[in-house]
């Protein structure tokens, strides 16, 4: 059986639409990201904060993280690939643009955002 030459192109197009690689992620706006940080500040804005739910651990600082890492982490929480219940709930309400904006803000200036 001969596969038509268009089949690989159609398959690649379908797969490409379903999976957005990190390098093709939407560029974020740091100023818009700053306006969206209120949901992050309750935990990530407290220096040295340890959470008690679902277990005790140190909450990571977001300032200075790489934008691609932040976007990927938020996507993983939203998809259920990371299991923290609070982060999954927060990420489930974020659009791709929200994620890109937050990542742009937190990765923009490590010195400025380290205190936030």
Pair of tokens at residue 5: 């030459």
Residue with the larger pLDDT of the pair 86 and 2 = 86
Q: What pLDDT shows up at residue 16?
A: 45
* pTM confidence score: 0.70
| Res. 13: pLDDT tops 50 | no
> For the domain bounded by 26-113, which CATH number is listed?
1.10.760.10
Q: What pLDDT shows up at residue 69?
A: 96
Beta bridge partners of 58: 50
Q: What is the pLDDT of residues 57-92, one digit of tens each?
A: 889 989 999 999 999 999 999 999 998 999 999 999
Residue ranges of domains in the chain = 26-113
Mean pLDDT of the chain: 80
Least confident span in 20-34, 45-59, 83-97 = 20-34
Q: Hey, what's the torsion of the CAs at 47, 77, 91, 88, to 10 degrees?
A: -80
The DSSP H or E segment spanning 38 is: helix 38-44
Q: How far, in Å, CA of 79 to CA of 91, rounded?
A: 9
Beta bridge partners of 50: 58
Q: Distance of CA 94 to CAs 15, 40, 112, Å?
A: 23, 12, 24
């Amino acid at each position: 059986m001969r596969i038509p030459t268009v089949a690989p192109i159609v398959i690649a197009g379908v797969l490409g639409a379903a999976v957005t690689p990190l390098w093709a992620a939407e560029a974020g706006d740091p100023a818009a990201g700053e306006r969206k940080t209120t949901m992050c500040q309750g935990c990530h804005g407290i220096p040295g904060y340890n959470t008690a739910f679902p277990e005790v651990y140190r909450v990571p600082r977001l300032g200075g993280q790489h934008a691609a890492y932040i976007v990927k982490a938020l996507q993983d929480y939203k998809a259920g690939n990371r299991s923290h219940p609070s982060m999954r709930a927060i990420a489930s309400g974020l659009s791709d643009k929200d994620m890109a904006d937050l990542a742009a803000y937190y990765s923009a200036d490590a010195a400025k955002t380290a205190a936030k």
